[in-house]
Amino acid sequence: MTFGDFGVRPEIVQALADAGIVAPFPIQAMTLPVAMAGHDIIGQAKTGTGKTLGFGVPLLHRVVAPGEPGYDELPAPGKPQALVIVPTRELAVQVAKDLDAASTKRSVRIVQLYGGRAYEPQVKALEQGVEVVVGTPGRMIDLLKQGFLDLTRAQCVVLDEADEMLDLGFLPDVEKLLSRTPAVRHTMLFSATMPGAVVAMARRYMKQPTHIRANDPDDGGQTVKNIKQVVYRAHALDKVEVLARILQSEGRGLSIVFARTKRTAAKVADELADRGFASGAIHGDLGQGAREQALRAFRSGKIDVLVATDVAARGIDVDEVTHVVNYQCPEDEKTYLHRTGRTGRAGHKGTAVTFVDWDDLPRWSLINKALDLGIPEPVETYSTSPHLYTDLNIPEGTKGRLPKSAQTRAGLDAETLEDLGETGKRGAARPAQSGGRGDSARGDSSRSDSGRGGRSGERSGGQGGRSHGGRDSARRDDAPRDDAPRDSAPRQAESAPRAERAAEGPAAGEAPAEGTRRPRTRQRTRTTGTAASSTGSTDAPASAPSEQPSSTPSTDGEGTRPRRRRRRPAGASGASEQGRSPEAPVSA
C-alpha cells in the first residue's frame, strides 16, 4: 500500500517517493482515510513513528497553491489556509522541513513563525502571501495582535505535541488562536502521550473527533521495541568519565545527551569538547542562531554529540541517532519517552542509557513502574566497572579521552553562525527611549541629577539641597534672606555647587549703607564653609570686625533650614533695623 492508494495528490506522492518514502507507517495508514474525508482526529502513537506526515499529507492535500486550479476563486488568496501549532522552536523547524519535502513538486508557500528571529522577514512573508503557517503560540499571538497574521481563512488546524503545550502553559494562547479561526474547520490533534486534560481540551474544540491509536501488534510496551534500555546508578563525580567511554562504543553514530538544567548542559558540552569530542549544546541560554547552528552541524555530521535540555526532546528527527544518554534522570515517564524517542526512529535500532543518582532512585522507581521497564534497581556502575564495557560494546582499555586518531569531525566552528536578527538576546544593549524609564528612573547619573529633583546629588546639604529643582525653589526663589555671619571662621566647603551659588553676592568694593541692611535674594542652599567667608569679607563693615549675630544657623545639624525673613524697605531707619531681634549686635 502506498500514499497514492489513499487518493493523495500525485505531486505529493512523487515528492515523498523522491525522498525515499513510499509506504505509510501504521499511524499514517490509519489516519489518512479519516483525515482525507475531513473528520476531526485525535492521533496517538509512539514517538518516531511518523505522526508528522500523518497530519502533513492531508493538510497539504487540502491546500490550494498559487497557479493551481481554484486558487483565484478563493475568498482571500494569499491568506493562510492551514495552521500548525507546535510547542518549541526546534519542532517548528522540523515540521516545516517535512512539509517542504512533501511539497517540492508544488508551489505551496510555508512560513515559520517562532521567537528568537527578527520580525521583519516573517512579516514580509505574510504580506507576500502564504498557504501554511507553522509556529509557536507566542510569536503567532504577537503577529496576530499587530494585524499581520490573519487566520480567518484557516480551514485546517493542527495541534502537534498537545500534551507538551499543556505542560508549558500554552493552553490560553492556543485557545486564543483557535478563537480566531473559522468555526467550521478541520482540526487534528497529535501527540505521543494523551493525558486526560488534553483529551478534554480536544473534545472542547473538536466536533466528534475520531481517536486513533496506532500500536505494533508485536510491541505491547509504551517504549519502542527497537530501543535497547540500559539504566545505571552512577555517581555524580564519575558521570563524565562513564559518558566519555559510552561515546566510544563500537558502531556508535550520532548521539544526544540530555540534561535537566541549562548549566549542566553547557558544562557537559565543554567537558566533552576538552576530551576531544565534537560536541555542541542546545539550551535556553543560547540565542536562536547558536541553537540552529548546533542543529545544522549535528544533522550534517560536523559534530556527533549534541548536549541538550528537554527543549530538544521534541523536534530532533535524525535517523542516524544511535545513542541517547539521560545524563540526569528525567522528571517523569513522559519526558523519558520523548527523550529516548530521539533514537530508534523510522524502524532503526537504538540504545538509551540513563544515569540515576542516589537521590533520584524514588523518581526512577515511579518511571519504571509507569512504563513497566522491568529495571526497579539500577546497577551501581563506575567508569571501571566491567559490565559497562560488555553491555555497550566498549573496547577494552578505552579511556575518558578520545584519541587523536579518532578526532575526525569538523566540529561546531565549521558550521556557519547565521545572523537571524535575534530578538530578546541576553546581554544585548537596548536602545535608549526618549523620556522612558531607561533615561531617568533607571539611569544612575541622570537619577542623581534630575530624577528626584536633585536630591541625591545634594544629599549632604540637608534640606537646602532638596530645593534645587524642587518645590521649595519655586516658592522661595524671590524671598530675601539674612547675610551669613560676617567674621566667623572659615569652614570646610561641603560641595562645590553650593559654594559657587553662595558666592554670588554684591560686587567687590560696594559697601552697604551705615545702619541699613542690604536686601539679598534668598539662596537655594544653606550658605556654609567658603561661601560664608567670601560673603562676609564683602558685606561686613570694616569698623565692626567683632560684631557677631546672636543667632547663627548651626553648621552641626545638616538638616537645619535658615529662618525666613521679610524684605524691609531700603530707606528704613537704623533704629528700626537695630530693633529687629535677634539680629541686633550684642553689646559689650
CATH number for the domain that contains residue 156 = 3.40.50.300
Query: In this structure, are 344 and 397 located in the same domain?
Result: yes
CA dist 375 and 364 (Å) reads: 9
Decide: 401 and 268 in contact? Cβ < 8 Å: no
Residues 130 and 106 in one domain: yes
In a domain, 495, yes or no: yes
Region 420-437 average pLDDT: 48
> With 0-12 CB in 10 A as exposed, 13-18 as middle and 19+ as buried, what is 408?
exposed
pTM score, two decimals?
0.64
* Residue 224 · residue 343 · CB < 8 Å: no
Same structural domain, 497 and 467 = yes
Residue 421 in grid coordinates: 536578527
Residue 563 lies in a domain: no
End-of-domain residue from the set 386, 414, 442 = 414
How far is it, in rounded angstroms, from Cα 252 to Cα 259? Answer: 20
pLDDT surpassing 70 at residue 427: no
Strand partners, 255: 305, 323
Between 51 and 110, the more confident residue is: 110
DSSP H or E segment with residue 499: helix 496-502
Q: pLDDT tier at 219 (50, 70, 90 boundaries)?
A: low
359 and 390, same domain (yes or no): yes
For residue 97, what is the enclosing H or E element?
Answer: helix 89-102
578 within domain boundaries: no
In a domain, 577, yes or no: no
Same domain, residue pair 139 and 245? no
Q: Of 365, 394, 414, which marks where a domain is finished?
A: 414
Total number of domains constituting the chain = 3
Of 271-280, 308-317, 342-351, which gets the smallest average pLDDT? 308-317
Spatial strand order in the sheet of 227-233:
279-282, 305-308, 254-258, 321-326, 350-356, 227-233, 379-380
Q: Which of 390, 414, 438 is the last residue of a domain?
A: 414
Q: Is the pLDDT of residue 152 over 60?
A: yes
Strongest mean pLDDT among 88-92, 101-105, 519-523, 550-554: 101-105
- Supply the range of the domain harboring residue 8: 3-214
When mean pLDDT is compared across 65-79, 149-163, 338-352, the lowest value belongs to: 338-352
- 266 and 135 both lie in a single domain: no
- Same domain, residue pair 188 and 231: no
pLDDT above 50: residue 460: no
337/195 Cα distance (integer angstroms):
14
Judgement on whether residues 203 and 235 belong to the same structural domain of the protein: no
**Is residue 51 in some structural domain?**
yes
Angle, helices 89-102 vs 51-62, to 10°: value is 60
Q: Does 60 fall in a domain?
A: yes
The answer to whether residue 579 sits within a structural domain is no
Beta bridge partners, 42, equal: 189, 211
Look at residue 236 in the predicted model and tell me its pLDDT: 93
Q: Are residues 210 and 231 in the same domain?
A: no
Mean pLDDT of the chain: 77
Is there a single domain that holds both residue 185 and residue 231?
Answer: no
Residues 291 and 390 in one domain: yes
User: Does residue 78 form part of some domain?
Assistant: yes
Question: How far is the CA of 424 from the CAs of 263, 285, 562, in angstroms?
Answer: 19, 11, 53
The verdict on 384 and 249 lying in the same domain is: yes
